[in-house]
A and B are shown apart, each in its own frame.
Chain A
Amino acid sequence: MTQDPNRPRRGEREKAEARGVDEVFERGFTRAGALRGVGGVLAAGALAGATPAFARDAIRVRSRATTITTWGNHPEWKGVMEKIVDVFEKSHPGIKVEVTYKPTAQYNAALNAALAGGAGPDVIGWNEGTSIRTAAKNKQIIALDGKVPVGRLIPAARAQVVFDGHSWGSALDAYTVGIFYQRPIFKKYGIKIPTNWAQLIAASKKLQAAGVTPWAMPAKDMIIPYFFYILAASSILGQDGFRQLRQGKRKLTEPQVVRAAQLMIDLQDYYNEGFQAVSYAEGKALFAQGRTAMLIGGSADYAGYKQVNPKVNVGVFGFPSPSGNRHVTVTGLDLNYSVNSKSSHKAEATTFVAWLSSRAPQQIVANELARPIAIGVTPGPGHRVESEMVAAGRPDVPVWYSVPETGGTFGAATTGGGIFTGDLDAAGFAKLVQASIKPSSKA
């Protein structure tokens, strides 16, 4: 079989740096292999001269810093992440962080495949929910007791990373979901922020009559409809009601709560054209360009709006309850970062994870990314939308899929597309989601 002489061989130093010198020597070092290894390094060196990416790796090797790897699931955050990484690298000379981005929709696929093969990054980011618990149980991550300042974390973040008597990592940011609206459109048509369902429907009707598409409701992946539903249902249940839902004392199929699904159906005339085939990303862009007046959106989306339309002028308000006695938002966490138990740079990775909840990165998060997970950090002056987001949630309910009892609700909702095609009515949809709830008295 022909050998490509430029194919990097096992003796190559770059790989040694990246995966731990021990592992390389374990594989055995034959003379032939060593010679080929030298050839490989020379070739790699030649290639390194040719492209920036390879050169970056080579420079790292030469400066003898430890490089830890991590994965991100929002390629659109690259700019902000680089800022955060820069701050870290400046205050921690000797540690470099290399972030690989996977497209959001394929992040889990790639991560699971990598972990199945035992080759995950040093710092693993887990989507919110039970995956971090599963990972801890399977000893894929190490406990970080005493290393991560969990006292600094907001309750939701703490609940994710502190369990079984140990602490396991830290999130980077939280996102809150409410209703984003286009300020210029509301102003032009004299629409006030709706405080109950009647007003919400009336506003939609008025916008429609004026020729503006009231809602962007991208349903291709059922993400936005899911958030709409849990916001509507949470507005009916309130914080207490949600806890009772988790305990099994209340059900989504109660007539009062079925109204949440019904609202989604009633507003169907006011959604953007062809919404069932529009993806989340496209829906965001439609809204950011002012083609629709409202969109269920999260604080993490705001960065995306600005990217599509730097002049975007939006505001956010909480989802009102039917009668107007409260308005809710749901808050969830982005990736929870932990340390890979198979990493060869556990110490450095731990340092990085612990640092994520400190003031410096959290301030960047609060100002430019989403919501901070550290207590006491607020968006700086001039960040109106971020501040509004904080104010929009009274009360604030955790995102349903992040809690064990209602963890399967999103999966159930993905099969509920029939609600828009007429195959499923409101009661049917509620029943579908209710079936995935596993009540527990510990909630």
Chain B
Amino acid sequence: MELNPNVPPSAGRGRRIATAIRRPRTQIWFLLPAVVLYGGFFILPTLASYWLAMYDWSGLGPLGDFIGFDNFRRVFEDQEFRRAALHNLWIFIALFVMTNTVSLFLAVLLDRKSWMRGPYRAIIFLPYILSPVVTGFIFEVLLSPNIGIVNPALDAIGLGSLQHTWLADPRTALPVIIIALAWQWNALATVIFMAGLQNVPPEMREAAITDGASPLGVFRHVTLPYLAPAFTVVNVLLAIFAFRAFDLVYVIGGAIGAPNGATLVMGTVIYGNAFGKGSFLDVTTRMSYAMAQGIVLFVILGLVAALLLVYLSRRERRVH
């Protein structure tokens, strides 16, 4: 693995690099550990799940019959799954809007040099550190009609008429979960935007101000273009977060998506089919079917992420 001693140091750059290419081993050694781990504990199980999805396995006992793509076909006809997918879409849209406005705005505010900046940043990132299970639990208790503080709080500030059984009403249950998800997610988004803002060269901003641009103009024409990479990262991660949401939603809505399926997401539907709807009374599981659903989710998310990535990368490149 040493540099070819026959190539004198005075040789041109091209020749040295050409020599370097003639030792293919190094990159493979670097890559190997990751490939071993990833291949064994990630790729293989994914392929195995794909294979399992083609059987009629309940999760208990022998595999059952090979039914090919039947499970996949059934997934597309499944009302419950479709409804859950719609919920995921709502989550995505709501978070998309919130992130690209509120988080961005907060990040801009936090970009200004100020002595309070450190503490603000520290506090704002806090929600992302909490476990989603814990967050779901906190929100569930906050909104509880028995011991929650949201209803009494509304009463205290005179909006008592807005009091509601938030989690029991199919119309408000999902929005409330979206708020809980946003509480956690926006923390991360804000920080990533902050990081992106650091990339904006201050000279360009100064130049624009000197040229008489308004703050808004500076933002639109100078800052935003430089934020393009951050936009890509945030929005792709956002798609992943929105479609893969599970822990928090499961804690609040359960595998049944109380009330009456209004809080189902694809993750909880899959869990319910794979492991049972969370009760000692229900022991029927459909593991293969759940895996088929999982693969469909994987494909959906892959498509969304790919589309976003392509569209946003193109914007990135156009800017530069």
CA–CA, A411 to B283, complex, Å?
9
Evaluate whether A129 and B283 lie within 8 angstroms (CB atoms) in the complex, with A108-B276, A286-B146 already known. yes
A414 and B277 form a contact (CB under 8 A): yes
B229: interface (CB < 8 Å): no
Among B59, B169, B279, B281, residue most surrounded by chain A Cβ atoms (within 10 Å): B281
Which of chain B's residues have a CB closer than 8 A to the CB of A417? 256, 258-261
Q: B259 contacts which of A130, A131, A276 (Cβ < 8 Å)?
A: A276
Shortest distance from the beta carbon of B190 to any chain A beta carbon, whole Å: 30
B60 and A138 form a contact (CB under 8 A): yes
Instruction: Give the A-B contact count at a CB cut-off of 8 A.
Output: 127
A220 and B60 form a contact (CB under 8 A): no
Q: A221 contacts which of B145, B168, B258 (Cβ < 8 Å)?
A: B258
A134: interface (CB < 8 Å): yes
Interface string of B148-175 (1 = CB under 8 A from A): 0000000000000000011111100100
Chain B residue nearest to A1 in the complex (CB)? B33
A116 and B283 form a contact (CB under 8 A): no
A108 and B285 form a contact (CB under 8 A): yes
A112: interface (CB < 8 Å): yes
Which of chain A's residues have a CB closer than 8 A to the CB of B278? 105-106, 221
Chain B residue nearest to A415 in the complex (CB)? B261
CA–CA, A275 to B165, complex, Å?
9
Which of chain A's residues have a CB closer than 8 A to the CB of B41? none
Which residues from 262 to 291 on chain A have a C-beta closer than 8 Å to any C-beta of chain B?
272-279, 282, 286, 291
Evaluate whether A418 and B146 lie within 8 angstroms (CB atoms) in the complex, with A112-B285, A220-B254 already known. no
A408 and B284 form a contact (CB under 8 A): yes
CA–CA, A223 to B278, complex, Å?
10
Shortest distance from the beta carbon of A74 to any chain B beta carbon, whole Å: 9
CA–CA, A112 to B273, complex, Å?
12
Which residues from 98 to 134 on chain A have a C-beta closer than 8 Å to any C-beta of chain B?
104-109, 112-113, 115-116, 127, 129-131, 134
A423: interface (CB < 8 Å): yes
A421: interface (CB < 8 Å): yes
CA–CA, A203 to B211, complex, Å?
80
Evaluate whether A220 and B36 lie within 8 angstroms (CB atoms) in the complex, with A105-B279, A106-B275, A112-B275 already known. no
Interface string of B25-68 (1 = CB under 8 A from A): 00000000100110000000000000000000001111000000
A291 and B283 form a contact (CB under 8 A): no
CA–CA, A402 to B167, complex, Å?
31
Interface size class of B (residues with CB under 8 A): 35 or more
Q: B279 contacts which of A112, A131, A223 (Cβ < 8 Å)?
A: A223
Which of chain B's residues have a CB closer than 8 A to the CB of A137? 61
Which of chain B's residues have a CB closer than 8 A to the CB of A367? none
Shortest distance from the beta carbon of A154 to any chain B beta carbon, whole Å: 19
Which of chain A's residues have a CB closer than 8 A to the CB of B37? 1
A277 and B259 form a contact (CB under 8 A): yes
B71: interface (CB < 8 Å): no
Interface string of A397-430 (1 = CB under 8 A from B): 0000100000010110011011011010000000
Evaluate whether A421 and B260 lie within 8 angstroms (CB atoms) in the complex, with A109-B274, A127-B283 already known. yes
Which residues from 198 to 230 on chain A have a C-beta closer than 8 Å to any C-beta of chain B?
219-223, 226
Chain B residue nearest to A335 in the complex (CB)? B280
Evaluate whether A274 and B283 lie within 8 angstroms (CB atoms) in the complex, with A1-B37, A221-B254, A418-B260 already known. no
A134 and B279 form a contact (CB under 8 A): no
A70: interface (CB < 8 Å): no
Which of chain B's residues have a CB closer than 8 A to the CB of A401? 281-282
Shortest distance from the beta carbon of B61 to any chain A beta carbon, whole Å: 4
Among A129, A276, A282, residue most surrounded by chain B Cβ atoms (within 10 Å): A276
B146 and A131 form a contact (CB under 8 A): no
A140: interface (CB < 8 Å): yes
Which of chain B's residues have a CB closer than 8 A to the CB of A109? 271, 274-276
A338: interface (CB < 8 Å): no
Which of chain A's residues have a CB closer than 8 A to the CB of B188? none
Which residues from 223 to 267 on chain B have a C-beta closer than 8 Å to any C-beta of chain A?
254, 256, 258-261
Shortest distance from the beta carbon of B173 to any chain A beta carbon, whole Å: 7
CA–CA, A109 to B274, complex, Å?
8
Which of chain A's residues have a CB closer than 8 A to the CB of B62? 138
Shortest distance from the beta carbon of B22 to any chain A beta carbon, whole Å: 27
Which of chain A's residues have a CB closer than 8 A to the CB of B187? none
CA–CA, A223 to B280, complex, Å?
9
Evaluate whether A115 and B60 lie within 8 angstroms (CB atoms) in the complex, with A221-B258, A273-B165, A423-B260 already known. yes
A48: interface (CB < 8 Å): no
B167 and A277 form a contact (CB under 8 A): yes
Evaluate whether A73 and B258 lie within 8 angstroms (CB atoms) in the complex, with A109-B274, A274-B168, A277-B167 already known. no
B313: interface (CB < 8 Å): no
B144: interface (CB < 8 Å): yes
CA–CA, A282 to B140, complex, Å?
11
Interface string of B269-310 (1 = CB under 8 A from A): 001001111111111110100000000000000000000000
B276 and A291 form a contact (CB under 8 A): no
Chain B residue nearest to A129 in the complex (CB)? B283
Which of chain B's residues have a CB closer than 8 A to the CB of A291? 146
A435: interface (CB < 8 Å): no
Chain B residue nearest to A110 in the complex (CB)? B275
A84: interface (CB < 8 Å): no
A135: interface (CB < 8 Å): yes
A414 and B282 form a contact (CB under 8 A): yes
CA–CA, A261 to B276, complex, Å?
25
Which of chain A's residues have a CB closer than 8 A to the CB of B281? 127, 223, 226, 401, 410
7 CB-based A-B contacts, threshold 8 Å: A105-B254, A105-B278, A109-B275, A112-B60, A274-B145, A276-B260, A410-B281
Q: Which A residues lie at the B interface, using CB under 8 A?
A: 1, 73, 104-109, 112-113, 115-116, 127, 129-131, 134-135, 137-138, 140, 219-223, 226, 272-279, 282, 286, 291, 334, 401, 408, 410-411, 414-415, 417-418, 420-421, 423
Q: Which 7 A-B pairs have the closest CB atoms?
A: A417-B260, A109-B275, A277-B167, A274-B165, A138-B61, A274-B145, A276-B168
In addition to A104-B280, A112-B60, A291-B146, 20 A-B residue pairs with Cβ atoms within 8 Å of each other are A73-B280, A105-B279, A108-B280, A112-B59, A131-B60, A137-B61, A219-B259, A220-B256, A220-B258, A220-B259, A221-B278, A226-B281, A272-B145, A274-B168, A276-B260, A277-B168, A286-B146, A408-B284, A414-B256, A417-B259
